[in-house]
Amino acid sequence: MQEDRLTEGSLDLRRRQLLAGAAGAALMPWVPSAQAAGYELEGVELPETVTAHGQRLVLNGAGVRKRGYYKADVTALYLPEKRTTPEPIYRLNGVRRIQLNILREFTSSTISRIFIADFKQAATPEEFKRLISVVGQIGAVYANVKRVVKGDVVNLDWVPGTGWMAFHNNRPLQIEGEPISAINNELAYQIYLRMYIGEAAPEELRNALLGLTRLPRAGEA
């Protein structure tokens, strides 16, 4: 009899363990995972954090930038800390990154033309006149890209103490075959930020980069 009671007790314990395990498994899909792979937009995977120039940055937001009816790129904004309005982003210390995940092919002439038009729209007439030589320098950098295609990644970083640095598929952009380390003009980068999160930027893109619209997790249907 004692042996029977021990057997029954062991079976009862096993049943409780199985029920607890089943209950835990049923709850798992509802628990957000800190190990999630990040986000995904238009097939582009966007990590939740990146390390740039030795600093950890968080994904503030991301959205699709359009040119007419076409989707040009998935733009992502990485910052040292999340912010939901433009002014605090302009004033942030540390590295800031605008990442362009290209969705269609562009030639260097098209890239330069788009950049100059957008930059001029985001700047005041006085700022544009003051920065005309810097705009020409940036245009020369873009001219040496030749073309970008779907799947390319362009990172445009502000590094305090160094300046504005640009990379195409992790390679520094160049002028006349010489690597350009940085354009040390913070006002130019501030205006570049305005192109994406300023008043002249498309509202849908601006809200996405400011983290005001929900970004789908990687793997979501």
pLDDT digits (tens, 9 = 90+) for 162-214: 999 889 999 888 666 565 678 889 999 999 999 999 998 999 999 999 999 99
In whole angstroms, give the CA distance from residue 113 to residue 124. Answer: 18
**pLDDT for position 67:** 87
Question: Is 83 a residue whose pLDDT tops 90?
Answer: yes
Question: Is 23 a residue whose pLDDT tops 90?
Answer: no
Question: Is 5 a residue whose pLDDT tops 80?
Answer: no
Reduce the secondary structure of the chain to three states and give it as a string. Answer: CHHHHHHHHHHHHHHHHHHHHHHHHHHHHHCCCCCCCCEEECCEEECCEEEECCEEEEEEEEEEEEECCEEEEEEEEEECCCCCCHHHHHHCCCCEEEEEEECCCEEHHHHHHHHHHHHHHHCCHHHHHHCHHHHHHHHHHHHCCCEECCCCEEEEEEECCCEEEEEECCEECEECCEECCCECCHHHHHHHHHHHHCCCCCHHHHHHHCCCCCCCECCCC
List the end-to-end C-alpha distance of the chain, in Å, as a whole number.
56
Smallest CA-to-CA distance from 191 within 124, 136, 142, 141 is with 124
Q: pTM, whole model, 2 decimals?
A: 0.81
pLDDT-derived band of residue 128, with 50, 70 and 90 as boundaries?
very high
Question: Quick one: tokens of 171?
Answer: 């390679």
pLDDT-derived band of residue 48, with 50, 70 and 90 as boundaries?
very high
